[in-house]
Amino acid sequence: MQAVGVVGLGTMGAGIAEVCLAAGHEVRAYDGFEEARERGLERIRRGFARRVEKETMTQADADDALARLTPCAALADLADCDLVIEAVAEIPDVKHELFAELGRLAKADAVLATNTSAISVTGIAEASGRPDRVVGLHFFNPAPVMRLVEVVRTPHVDPQVYADAIAFAEGLDKEAVPCPDTPGFLVNRVLVPMLNDAVRTFVETGADPADLDRALKAGAGWPMGPLALIDLIGVDVQMHASQAIADGLGDPHYAPHPLLAEMVEQGRLGRKTGAGFHEYESAP
Ligand code: CAA
């Protein structure tokens, strides 16, 4: 799978594109919104500048990687990709329409992958019209740093396509973990309710957010505190992921804490808007 298309250049799409470029792939990067596309491309360039600064990559290798990046203004530009990874908004209709279009325009032997964390991969696969060639490739934020990719298997997927998807993720130097297509897959089914419990604890104890985060870092070995982690993931993403798992399992235990909806209403989405449980000065 040499040529990879990435659809949607937000935080996740840009991170995934960076990881694929760093692993030697050609990447065609598409976002239908010009401003989002430019922001995503800038994020990818910053990612390579960071690698050079940290001396994990030479300037020549970073230049070589960026030379393999082709920005695309039309989805049809991804028609000859071997693999297309979708990372657009977590809205079922949007994903289904996109996969129907990808099913029409991608070459016959292409593999189509979704980075969804909360929507049924089986439903997305069925919308594509070629469900045997669709998998979930679920990356974690920040994609260039986090080692895991959950490789999500549906009942429809061709075993060879699935094996190729695992090999692809391993080729990115990621930990590829097979997952069934169940709500929240493996990580979010554990992590999302833990983060809701952190919000509940914050509300019920009136603890300072920085203290709660410091406590979980120093007392439970979390690399960052849970409220800071919600800010990184996005308060809206945490809310939608919780709701999707609750709906999928029919279990209100997983429902989002009501404070999350209030914060979304106020535009406090976390790092991406400069404020969430904490305040942020610089763009991520
Ligand atoms: N992009 C690229 N590199 C980044 C980065 C980013 N956005 N943020 C941090 N880094 C790099 C830093 O440059 C640094 O690199 P070096 O070690 O080479 O110096 C390294 O990561 C560590 O960063 P920092 O020293 O600044 O800070 P840290 O030690 O706190 O690490 C972190 C930052 C890697 C994000 C770490 O706190 C962490 O692992 N946090 C947990 C993140 C997590 O759980 N993510 C999963 C969220 S759930 C999800 O994504 C699924 C979903 O469906 C919602």
Closest by alpha carbon to 136, among 76, 100, 171, 95? 95
* Per annotation, catalytic residue among 120, 188, 196, 242: 188
**57 CA to centre of own chain:** 24
Of 39, 48, 42, the C-alpha closest to 18 is 48
Which atom of ligand 1 is the closest one to the Cα of 56? 18
Whole-number average pLDDT of the chain: 97
Question: Is residue 226 pLDDT above 90, yes or no?
Answer: yes
Q: Is 29 helix (H, G, I), strand (E, B) or coil?
A: strand
pTM for this structure? Answer: 0.94
Residue whose CB lies within 8 A of the most ligand 1 atoms, among 145, 242, 280, for a mutation test: 145
Contact assessment for residue 87 and residue 10, using Cβ atoms and an 8 Å cutoff: yes
284: pLDDT confidence band, cut at 50, 70 and 90? low
Helices (H), ranges, 28-91 = 34-53, 59-67
Question: Residue 274 — very low, low, confident or very high, per pLDDT cuts 50/70/90?
Answer: very high
Statement: residue 223 has pLDDT above 80: yes
Catalytic residue of the set 25, 86, 90, 117: 117
pLDDT at res. 118: 86
Q: Are 108 and 98 in contact (CB under 8 A)?
A: no
pLDDT tens readout for residues 35-66? 999 999 999 999 999 999 999 999 999 999 99
Verify whether residue 34 is a known catalytic residue: no
Give the tens place of pLDDT for each residue, 85-135: 999 998 999 999 999 999 999 999 999 999 999 899 999 999 999 999 999
Average pLDDT over residues 264-282: 95
